[in-house]
Amino acid sequence: MKANRYAKDLFKKLEDYNISNGNCSEYDDDYYLEIGSEPPRFADYRAARAKITNAFGDKTFEDVWDSITQDESDYYLKMSLRVSPEERYQDKKEAWYFHESSWYMRQGRDGIESGYDRYGCNNGKCVPECRYYPENGRIEDEEVIQRNKEIGQSWSSYNIT
């Protein structure tokens, strides 16, 4: 596919540009992980994706999260693994609207078309069937890595690189 070859060439040019200008060695990924940010090269990646995928001329760099490079994926995995298993559990527990048993996640599935059915995780309270019902728990590294692989596979169907 012509766009695919164009994208690969563009990303290669970006990488060469960063290397030739010394941009890649100023700070390593650990520095950005430590400060809770992302490397500036990710903005370059999003700019390249916006340029490639912007058929109507109205996308910004932040509109191109439907695709991701392996570099970005690896970095976000490293970032996720820096959080303790207990903290991960508490973070997920707090985001009750993303629990499988919440109405938001079941809507359009399980025969729920519209209207709150008064069942499921809601307002920070989980139902007994929910994985996050116990006050404390852990999300182990292996689970984070597996989830990252699953997300990577779904992204690969959208990726242009």
Nearest to 67, CA basis, from 7, 146, 144, 127: 7
In this structure, what DSSP letter does residue 148 have?
H
Convert the pLDDT of each residue in 26-67 to its tens digit.
Answer: 578 889 999 989 999 988 888 777 777 765 667 666 666 667
Size of the chain in residues: 161
Q: Residue 21 pairs with which residues in a beta bridge?
A: none
Residue with tokens 């990924």: 29
47-68 core/surface letters (b: 16 or more CB in 10 A; e: else): ebbeebbeeeeeeebeebeebb
For the full predicted model, state whether its pTM sits above 0.75.
no
Q: Tell me what percent of the residues of the chain surpass a pLDDT of 90.
A: 34
Task: Concatenate the DSSP letters of all residues of 16-67 into one string.
Answer: HHHHHTTTTTSS-HHHHHHHT---THHHHHHHHHHHHH-SSS---GGG-TT-
Convert the pLDDT of each residue in 89-137 to its tens digit.
Answer: 999 999 998 998 888 888 766 565 666 667 888 888 999 999 999 999 9
Of the pLDDT bands very low, low, confident and very high (cuts 50, 70, 90), residue 161 is: very low
Is 80 exceeded by the pLDDT of residue 25? Answer: no
